[in-house]
Amino acid sequence: MTGDEAYGQDPQLRARLERGAKGPRVYDWAWIHTGTGVHRHLLIRRNRTTRELAFYLCWSPTEVALSELVHVAGVRWSVEECFQAAKSQVGLDGGAAFVP
- For the stretch 44-88, pLDDT in tens is 999 999 999 999 999 999 999 999 999 988 887 777 777 777 877
State how far Cα 22 lies from the chain centre: 13
Q: Which residues, 6 or more positions from 16, have their beta carbon under 8 angstroms from its beta carbon?
A: none
Q: Is residue 17 part of a domain?
A: no
Q: Backbone phi, then psi, for 56, in 5-degree steps?
A: -135, 125
Q: Is residue 73 part of a domain?
A: yes
State how far Cα 44 lies from the chain centre: 14
Does this model's pTM top 0.85? My answer is no
Q: Is residue 12 part of a domain?
A: no
pLDDT digits (tens, 9 = 90+) for 2-60: 555 556 667 777 777 666 666 777 899 999 999 877 889 999 999 999 999 999 999 99
Are 21 and 39 in contact by the 8 Å Cβ rule? The answer is no
Number of domains observed in the structure of the chain: 1
Structural domain that includes position 79: 26-89
For residue 81, give the 3-state DSSP assignment: helix
